[in-house]
Amino acid sequence: MTHEELCAMLQKTPSSIKLDKQQTINKVLKNFNFEEVHKVMQYLDWQWVSSNTDDQIPSIAEMVVLSNDLLNRAYDEVMYKMESESNLETGGFKVNAAKYSDGEIVLTLQFVVTGFNYSNKGTCY
């Protein structure tokens, strides 16, 4: 299923229905491809630091738990701290929550392998 097909299917929910926080988060977690991320992490030998064990590539279950925590924190920041946007990231995962004037909250979950920033003052970050 393509991204466009998935979004079209998910948008069949009537706009008058508003999902609660956990329903929204569950939609993100259900549709995110953790298996693909796990393959990339294995290929790159991308390990997480752990205080309990040696550094290791996280399991899919560990990635889901971390992502759920990030999504909850970001959602709460825009819902209860009156911020219009929240960005959180760790372990390669990046979460964005954006709240719009009509009350809609959009959650985005990404796994970032590389990135680059450059400013209009000619500075690399």
Task: Return the structure tokens found at 38.
Answer: 């796990």
In this predicted structure, the answer to whether residue 10 has a pLDDT above a threshold of 70 is: no
Give percent of the chain above pLDDT 90: 63
In a domain, 42, yes or no: yes
Per residue in 28-80, pLDDT (tens digit) is: 999 999 999 999 999 999 999 977 778 899 999 999 999 999 999 999 999 98
Q: Is pLDDT above 60 for 108?
A: yes
Q: Is residue 86 part of a domain?
A: yes
What distance in Å separates the CA atoms of residue 21 and residue 102, rounded to the nearest whole number?
16
Place of tokens 């990046």: 94
* Any domain includes 122: no
Query: What is the C-alpha separation between 76 and 90, in angstroms, rounded?
Result: 17
Q: Are 107 and 74 in contact (CB under 8 A)?
A: yes
Average per-residue pLDDT for the chain: 87
Please tell me which residue, 97 or 6, carries the higher pLDDT value: 97
Residue 1 forms part of a structural domain: no
Helix 34-44 / helix 60-80 crossing angle, nearest 10 deg: 120
Q: Rounded to whole angstroms, how far apart are CA atoms 109 and 94?
A: 6
How many domains does the chain divide into? Answer: 1
pLDDT of residue 3: 59
- 25 in any annotated domain: yes
